[in-house]
Amino acid sequence: MRICLILEGSYPYTFGGVSSWTHNYIKALPQHEFVLWVIGAKASDKGRFKYELPDNVKEVHEVFLDDALLIKPRKKDKFKLTEEERETIKHFIDCNKPDWNVLFDMFQVKRYNPASFLMSDDFLDILTELCKEKYPYVAFADIFYTIRSMLIPVLHVIQSEVPQAQIYHTVCTGYGGLLAALANFVTGKKVILTEHGIYSREREEEIIRARWVVPEFKRHWIRFFYMLSDAIYGRATFITCLFGNASKIQQELGADPDRCRVIPNGIHYDNFCDIPLKEDDGIVDIAAVIRLAPIKDVKTLIYAFNELKSMRKNVRLHILGGTDDDEYAKECYDLVKTLRLSDVMFVGQVNVIEYMAKIDFTILTSISEGQPLCVLESFAARRPAVTTDVGCCRQLIEGEADDVYGTAGYCVPPMHREALAIAMDKMCASRQEREEMGMVGQKRVERFFKHKDMMKKYSSLYREA
């Protein structure tokens, strides 16, 4: 089977959860050919892959959002919109469930020039109507450039050439989901959606905190990302997620319950289960296997560790992972220097299997998560975890209805440095308790989260599609 795997902002450009999942996923299906259709933010990243691609990856098609800024308007372009097209554009500008078939026809089939269209009389008339209705006290120039910055990457993306495949499998909604919807429109082939986290909810959390978004337009930006998710929810033959509550959210956002499936993450258990516990050397070593990114809330982790140091001296924090946000990474480095935390080590990208032997337990301080692989790997290696109560972290820590193993760590509210410090202190207090919790975590992973079991379910899904 020839499968087009659609990704946004992850594999093969970055290391981390979804990228690692994707790489292992492709390698586990050598009987299939894969075409990668990948979206990146910057064209300067073209071809700069962090992974050596498996042999069964036959093509890579790259789409970069900043290329949309290079589109030049053409003076000769004239547009005469039908009533259906005008109505669709009105809903599109308002981020209110446009008819995507009409938009695909305009920009994929008729090949309207996005830059020319966004300067056309028809577009400006529709936008003016919206301004009078929704933003009567906001400067038109502010609205125009905000709306343009939202729409032009979308119009650029939906003009992409669609790779040939038998099934299109997108690992997110957003722009990636839009490519999958486009593929369905152009080829008529079946589409599968897999969400590791709920993309639209994650973007909402980012926008609420974002300084670059003018307050008047935050609600509009949030609607924009929900609009993108809606495009693929309505077209996917199957919609998968990692745990039950995520499936409920997908259905609340418009996914057909009959198309929804829960397929938990799986890891290569045998790679971790025999890693020996660290010898007791009088120091408790804590590891955070994370990207240096705002959504991982590394700064709260650093502050919490600073509070832990006021409670006990025999602790070290190892931060394992790279960054795709140099500015945020620098803020983290500077914070450690300001707090004079000599026991915080930024290790960078390392082999987690080899490094795990140096660790007593792990910590995850994310603001948003799905079903984090780093927690599953920690459990498989008999290392308990402290996590924030996001995604299904609580279920991983405490188990669910058919899980009788017990508790494998502590779960605290996100962005709560005091609660994190207290939980780390509890974990540091007793080696025996850590070992007992670690055994619970290992049994849970062995029973519910093996990679081969996950792959059987996806293979079955392909056959069914």
**Distant-in-sequence, close-in-space partners of 448: CB < 8 Å, separation ≥ 6:** 264, 403
Which comes out higher in pLDDT, residue 287 or 294? 287
33 touches 2 (CB < 8 A) = yes
Give how far the C-alpha of residue 331 lies from the chain's centroid of Cα atoms, to the nearest Å: 22
Q: Is residue 315 scored above 80 in pLDDT?
A: yes
Q: Is residue 209 scored above 90 in pLDDT?
A: no
The fourth-level CATH superfamily of domain 269-449 is Glycogen Phosphorylase B; (3.40.50.2000)
Please report the pLDDT score of residue 325 as a whole number. Answer: 83
| pLDDT per position as a tens digit, 26-38 | 999 999 999 999 9
What's the one-letter identity of residue 244? G
- Is 269-449 the same fold as 2-70+160-262? yes
What's the one-letter identity of residue 74? R
Confidence of residue 16 (pLDDT cuts 50, 70, 90): confident
Distance CA 219, CA 221 (A): 6
Domain ranges of the chain: 2-70+160-262, 83-152, 269-449
* pTM, to two decimals: 0.90
Confidence of residue 42 (pLDDT cuts 50, 70, 90): very high
Distance CA 2, CA 33 (A): 5
Question: What count of other Cβ atoms lies within 10 Å of the Cβ of residue 413?
Answer: 11
Please report the pLDDT score of residue 213 as a whole number. Answer: 87
Q: Is residue 51 scored above 80 in pLDDT?
A: yes
Please report the pLDDT score of residue 211 as a whole number. Answer: 83
Residue 148 to residues 68, 69, 108, 126, 158, Cα–Cα distance (Å):
11, 10, 19, 13, 15
**Distant-in-sequence, close-in-space partners of 245: CB < 8 Å, separation ≥ 6:** 392
Please report the pLDDT score of residue 458 as a whole number. Answer: 96
7 by DSSP, 3-state: which? strand
Please report the pLDDT score of residue 402 as a whole number. Answer: 80
**The CATH number fitting domain 2-70+160-262, selected from 1.10.357.10, 1.10.540.10, 3.50.30.50, 3.40.50.2000:** 3.40.50.2000
Mean residue pLDDT across the chain: 95
| Mean local confidence (pLDDT), 184-205 | 94
Residue 192 to residues 5, 175, 179, 385, Cα–Cα distance (Å):
10, 15, 12, 32
Please report the pLDDT score of residue 214 as a whole number. Answer: 85
Distance CA 96, CA 230 (A): 10
Question: What count of other Cβ atoms lies within 10 Å of the Cβ of residue 118?
Answer: 19
| pLDDT per position as a tens digit, 124-170 | 999 999 889 888 888 899 999 999 999 999 999 999 999 999 999 99
Question: What count of other Cβ atoms lies within 10 Å of the Cβ of residue 339?
Answer: 14
